[in-house]
Structure 1
Amino acid sequence: PPDKQKELREASVQLDAKMREIRGSGKVFGSERIAVMAALNLTYELMQSSMSSSGEEQKLSKLEAQMDQILAAKESR
């Protein structure tokens, strides 16, 4: 879609950079294999980022619950 073109270009730049990095390592040969390795690496990074964010959200939820308990205790005094 036209409103997503900027994001798609940025994604293609990231993918190209990852493919160049893999190609430069000299460990993987062939465009298709390099593309698959780049996709795997980017997916892994995305999953790690998502898991980190999820963990942070859980910490914030716990802190919020603790704050609610403390405030409720103070109000009942």
Structure 2
Amino acid sequence: MQKEAIALAEAAGVERGSITVIEFIELPLAYLPGNAVQVKVKVAGNLLQQARHDETLPSGHRLGACHISR
């Protein structure tokens, strides 16, 4: 999940070498069978000056909040 969050940040126009994972949370979901967990990953980095996030983000994502589900 961390690699996917980093890849989304890069697609949004963040400098590759500046990306840092600043939060990683695994929350157990007791109401689901098995060992289901909700994972939240927050990354931050420096935006490239020439990046225009409205053109570079994958469909369905917005700068600052990208959700990955499995």
TM-score (structure 2 length as normaliser): 0.31
Task: Identify the structure with the greater helix proportion.
Answer: 1
Q: Which has the higher contact order (CA 8 A, sep 6+)?
A: 2
Bigger radius of gyration? 1
TM-score when scaled to structure 1?
0.29
